[in-house]
Amino acid sequence: MAVVITNGKIVSSKGISQKDIRIVGEKIDKIGLNLIRPNDEIIDAEGSYIMPGGIDAHTHFDCEIGGIVADDFKTGTKAAIMGGTTTIIDFAEQVRGGTLREALDEWNEKAVGKTYTDYGYHMTISDWNEKTSQEMEEMIKEGIPSFKIFFAYEELQLDDGSIYEALKRAKELGALIGFHCENGTLIDKLREEAILKGNREPIYHMETRPPSLEKESIARLITIAELVDTPVYIVHLSSKEGYDEIKNAKRGGAKILVETCPQYLLLNKEYYLPKGEDSFEGAKYVMSPPLRDMESNKVLWKGIRNGEIEVVATDHCAFNYRGQKDIGKDNFTMIPNGAPGVENRFNLMYTYGVKENRISMERLVKIISENPAKIFGLYPKKGVIQIGSDADIVIFNPNHKTTIKAEEQTQNVDYNLYEGFTQFGKFEYVFLRGQMIVRDGEIISSKPLGKYQYRRIHS
C-alpha cells in the first residue's frame, strides 16, 4: 500500500510547489498531480508545509563526562524526531592513547538499535599518529568520511603540525574535517588566572573564552588549510570576530564551510549574569564557545541569509542543571560543558528566521536539511524531496503557537535554553524512510527504527 500526501506546499531550496507525494516502501515514488489510487492511505496536508526531514550534523548523545550523562541516543533521537529531525550525525570521540576503531566500537555500543532517527558519526581525532592516519582510510570504508579536530580542550586539542598533517591526509582521502576553533592553550591560562583571582562564577566561563580566541584559531585554520589547499568545515561559529575572518577568506576564494547553532543566533552573554536568588543559573549556558554579544547574533543571521553560513546544527550536549551542572557550583571550570537543543532547532529557525523575515522558507530547508546532506555525503538520498530519495518527510503546520517549557519537552534534561520563548509550528507528521513515526505531534513508533547511514563525500 502506498501513502499519498496531498494538498500540502512542498518546500525545496528552489521554491514551493503544491503537488502530491506518493510514498512506496521507504522511498518517494512519485511527485505530481492526481496521484491518489484505490487503497492508498491519504494524508491531507492542507495548510501545511512539506519539507525534507531535518539533518542535525552536530550532536553529542550519551556524552559522558566524569560518569554523568543526560540524553542518550534513545531519548536524544526521540526528541530530535519530535522536532522534525530525521537524521543526526554524532561525534564518536577517540580517547588520547586509543584508536579510532575503539571509538567507533564504543559509539556503536551506545547507538545501535537505540535511535529513533537515522544516524551516522563523525570521528573526533584527539591523537594524531601513523595509526590514526591509517585508520582514517578504514573509517571512510565504514561510511565515515568526516572527522573533527579541536583547537581547544587540553585532552583533545592538536598542535598546528598535526593539524597540517591530518588535513593533508584528508585531502588525499577525499575526507572533510570539522574544526572546533578556540585557542585552548590561551583559554587554559585565562582559566587558571581567573581561579587564582577568586573568579569562580559561571560568567567567567564566558570571560575566559573571548571571541578573539575564536578569531585567532579560525585565522590559523585558514592559513593551514590554504597551505594544504583543501576544504575545511568550521563547527559552531559563535562570534562576529570569527565570522569576519571567514567572510574575508571566503571572498578571497577559500573553501570554508560554516556551521552555527540557534543559541548563537538567539541568546547572548547577558544570560551569564546572576539573576535574582540563583547566581548559578548561568551554568545552564556553559557551553563552548560561550554565548556572545547581540552584534554577533545579528551578523550570524546575516551570514545565514547571504549563504556564507551553510548549516545550522545544535551541538546538543545535555547535562542537567540540578545534580550535574552543579558539580561546578564553586568553580566554573568544573561545570560540564554543553547544552541541549536538538528538539527545538527546526521550530526556532522557522519562528525567528522565517516568521521574522530574516530568511525564506527555501533558505530554511537549505540550512536545516539540504546543505548538511550535501556536505556530509547523504544527498540526494536525504536532504531533498525528490523521486527516489528516502521518504524522510515532515508535515509542518506553521500556525500552531506554543511556549517552550522544559517540563513539556521530550529531551531528557531538566531545563531548556529557550524557556519561555514563543515557537511556531507543529510537526503533525514525521516520516522516516516511509514509516510514520510522529502523528498529530505524538510519537507513535513503539521502538527506535533508525538505521546507520553509510556516507560518501563526493568532491
Q: List contacts with Zn ion (CB under 5 A).
A: 180, 315
Binding residue for ligand URP, selected from 71, 118, 245, 315, defined by CB under 6 A: 315
Least gap, CB of 9 to Zn ion (angstroms): 34
Least gap, CB of 58 to ligand URP (angstroms): 7
User: Which stretches does DSSP call E strand in 68-117?
Assistant: 85-93
The answer to the question of residue 180 lying near ligand URP (CB under 6 A) is yes
Three-state SS for 340?
Answer: coil
Binding residue for ligand URP, selected from 157, 260, 288, 397, defined by CB under 6 A: 288
Pairing of strands 435-439, 422-432: antiparallel
CA 386/CA 10 separation, integer angstroms: 10
In the list ligand URP, Zn ion, none, the entry touching 363 (Cβ below 5 to 8 angstroms by class) is none
Least gap, CB of 403 to ligand URP (angstroms): 26
| Alpha-helix residue ranges (DSSP H) falling in 97-210 | 100-111, 130-141, 160-173, 184-196, 203-207
Task: Return the number of the residue (127 or 138) whose C-beta is nearest ligand URP.
Answer: 127
Least gap, CB of 428 to ligand URP (angstroms): 32
Which three cell numbers, joined as nine digits, stand for 326?
552543579
Closest CA to 260 of 12, 56, 13, 53: 56
Distances (CA, A) of 398 to 51, 86, 423, 424: 12, 19, 10, 6
Task: Return the number of the residue (11 or 158) whose C-beta is nearest ligand URP.
Answer: 158
Least gap, CB of 310 to Zn ion (angstroms): 17
Upper half-sphere CA count for residue 428 (Cβ side, 13 Å): 17
In the list Zn ion, ligand URP, none, the entry touching 337 (Cβ below 5 to 8 angstroms by class) is ligand URP
Contact yes or no for 353/362 (Cβ under 8 A): no
Cis peptide before 210 (omega within 30 of 0): no
User: Which stretches does DSSP call E strand in 235-300?
Assistant: 256-260
Task: Return the number of the residue (7 or 268) whose C-beta is nearest ligand URP.
Answer: 268
Task: Return the number of the residue (184 or 303) whose C-beta is nearest ligand URP.
Answer: 184
Three-state SS for 110?
Answer: helix
**Beta-carbon count within 10 A of 446 CB:** 6
Three-state SS for 329?
Answer: coil
Residue nearest to Zn ion (CB): 180
The answer to the question of residue 317 lying near ligand URP (CB under 6 A) is yes
What string marks each residue from 336 to 365 as x (binds ligand URP by CB under 6 A) or -? Answer: -xx---------------------------
Residue count (the chain): 459
The answer to the question of residue 284 lying near ligand URP (CB under 6 A) is no
**Site for ligand URP, residues 157 to 176, rule: CB under 6 A:** none
Task: Return the number of the residue (228 or 287) whose C-beta is nearest ligand URP.
Answer: 287
In the list ligand URP, Zn ion, none, the entry touching 338 (Cβ below 5 to 8 angstroms by class) is ligand URP
**Beta-carbon count within 10 A of 146 CB:** 24
Which residues, in sequence order, are bridge partners of residue 427? 396
Least gap, CB of 288 to ligand URP (angstroms): 4
The answer to the question of residue 217 lying near ligand URP (CB under 6 A) is no
Task: Return the number of the residue (40 or 127) whose C-beta is nearest Zn ion.
Answer: 127
The answer to the question of residue 114 lying near ligand URP (CB under 6 A) is no
CA 151/CA 456 separation, integer angstroms: 26
The answer to the question of residue 60 lying near ligand URP (CB under 6 A) is yes
In the list ligand URP, Zn ion, none, the entry touching 453 (Cβ below 5 to 8 angstroms by class) is none
Which residues contact ligand URP (rule: CB under 6 A)? 60, 180, 287-288, 315, 317, 337-338
